[in-house]
């Protein structure tokens, strides 16, 4: 699919009223900005999925035929100087002719003294990579970016999907969210519908497979199956992994969950429910969960309004910066509680980074 726990921890609560926080634009002109992370020195880094190109084209899993270009990039935002700069370029990007909704660099996470780990999406059957030539070989991989911006291809998640297909069904992969930890990276594969661990030796193993669900069919007529589409992974206050799901077609509002997965792997359990089209999550220092929805009303609504929901440890939910997020794509919290969000994540040249101060 691309942009195609125990019961006592399950919270379904009405949103509480709260003052609307201002969302200030601190970066603009980005190409389909998705994941965002804070580096060890405090700079912000944004994964830009690019604008595709005029190279070979393949059939994607969402029914389009995107074409390849090496237009994906990583932008650094120096919060002290207020500047932005593309520091790593040339990543593979797949997009339709107008460059919107590109698939390319999606997630970014830092570990150690500045190494950034990045997911490079595909959103298709990885056997089709042979049609993309040498420039497309890095799709469905992770990459490692050095502090100087040089990057190299790392784990081949596409071949892992071909050989294992952990969730069964059609072979499909779209590495999206990534969490870099000492000696390993954890990846949410939105196409493979699974959570993967990449060891220090490069070995990939499956930690969890996420269940689909039955949701109301568009226009009535009973229930139809929807894929889970995991998009984001973080470590929770209890040390477990928490994974947010976009959900697949028909993107039914309120059907997206946040799952808890043991670091040892196993069957995922629902920790929080009742969300819509989750693309990113984060935990605050007080244990509050922040959930970013790319579409507040569901991706079939045609309404670009997104939402950022804060869930307190007692289950109280509050929407932050209401009415100011449009197709947001990534979320990160600074140590002082400041929130940074990528906005207009499906636009070429129109993407932004917003700062929301609590």
Q: What is the predicted pLDDT for the residue at 221?
A: 83
- The backbone torsions φ and ψ at residue 161, rounded to the nearest 5 degrees and listed phi first, read -65, -40
What separation in angstroms does the CA of 344 have from each of 30, 67, 352?
9, 21, 6
Q: Which residues of the chain have pLDDT under 70?
A: 1-20
* Polymer length of the chain: 358
- Which residues are registered as beta bridge partners of 67? 57, 95
Q: What is the predicted pLDDT for the residue at 96?
A: 97
d(CA 245, CA 247): 5
- Which residues are registered as beta bridge partners of 152? 144
Residues 6+ apart with CB under 8 A from 207: 186, 194, 195, 196, 197, 241, 261, 265, 266
What separation in angstroms does the CA of 237 have from each of 59, 91, 240, 321?
41, 34, 8, 25
Q: Which of 338, 330, 340, 355 is nearest to 48 (CA)?
A: 330
Q: Measured over all CA atoms, what is the biggest interatomic distance in the chain, rounded to whole angstroms?
A: 56
d(CA 84, CA 176): 23
- Give the burial class of 314: count Cβ atoms within 10 A of its Cβ; 0-12 exposed, 13-18 middle, 19 or more buried: exposed
H helices of the chain, in order, are: 157-164
Q: Considering the domain 7-356 in this protein, what is its CATH number?
A: 2.120.10.30
- The DSSP 8-state label assigned to residue 329 in this structure reads -
- Cα-Cα-Cα-Cα torsion 326, 304, 62, 191, nearest 10 degrees, comes to 40
Take residue 15 and report the two structure tokens written for it.
């949103």
- Cα-Cα-Cα-Cα torsion 274, 279, 284, 287, nearest 10 degrees, comes to 30
Q: What is the predicted pLDDT for the residue at 227?
A: 97
Q: What is the predicted pLDDT for the residue at 11?
A: 31
Q: What is the predicted pLDDT for the residue at 307?
A: 98
Take residue 320 and report the two structure tokens written for it.
């932050």
- Which residues are registered as beta bridge partners of 75? 46, 86
């Amino acid at each position: 699919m691309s942009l195609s726990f125990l019961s006592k921890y399950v919270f379904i609560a009405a949103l509480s009223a709260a003052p609307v926080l201002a969302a200030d634009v601190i970066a603009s002109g980005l190409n389909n900005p998705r994941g965002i992370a804070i580096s060890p020195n405090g700079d912000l880094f944004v994964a830009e999925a690019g604008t595709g190109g005029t190279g070979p084209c393949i059939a994607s899993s969402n029914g389009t035929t995107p074409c390849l270009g090496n237009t994906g990039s990583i932008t650094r935002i120096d919060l002290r100087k207020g500047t932005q700069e593309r520091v790593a370029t040339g990543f593979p990007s797949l997009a339709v002719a107008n460059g919107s909704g590109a698939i390319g660099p999606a997630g970014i996470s830092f570990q150690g003294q500045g190494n950034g780990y990045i997911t490079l999406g595909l959103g298709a059957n990885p056997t089709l990579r042979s049609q993309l030539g040498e420039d497309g070989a890095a799709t469905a991989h992770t990459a490692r970016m050095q502090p100087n911006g040089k990057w190299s291809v790392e784990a081949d998640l596409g071949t892992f999907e071909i050989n294992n297909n952990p969730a069964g069904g059609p072979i499909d992969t779209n590495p999206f969210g990534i969490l870099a930890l000492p000696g390993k990276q954890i990846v949410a594969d939105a196409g493979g519908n699974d959570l993967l661990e990449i060891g220090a030796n490069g070995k990939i193993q499956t930690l969890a497979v996420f269940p689909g669900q039955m949701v109301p069919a568009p226009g009535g007529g009973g229930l139809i199956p929807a894929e889970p589409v995991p998009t984001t992974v973080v470590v929770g206050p209890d040390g477990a992994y928490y994974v947010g799901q976009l959900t697949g077609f028909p993107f039914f509002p309120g059907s997206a969950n946040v799952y808890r997965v043991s670091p040892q792997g196993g069957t995922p359990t629902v920790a929080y429910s009742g969300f819509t089209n989750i693309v990113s999550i984060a935990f605050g220092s007080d244990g509050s969960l922040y959930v970013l929805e790319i579409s507040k009303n569901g991706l079939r609504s045609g309404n670009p309004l997104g939402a950022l929901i804060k869930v307190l440890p007692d289950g109280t939910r509050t929407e932050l910066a209401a009415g100011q997020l449009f197709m947001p794509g990534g979320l990160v919290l600074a140590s002082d509680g400041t929130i940074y969000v990528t906005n207009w994540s499906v636009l070429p040249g129109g993407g932004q980074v917003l700062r929301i101060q609590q």
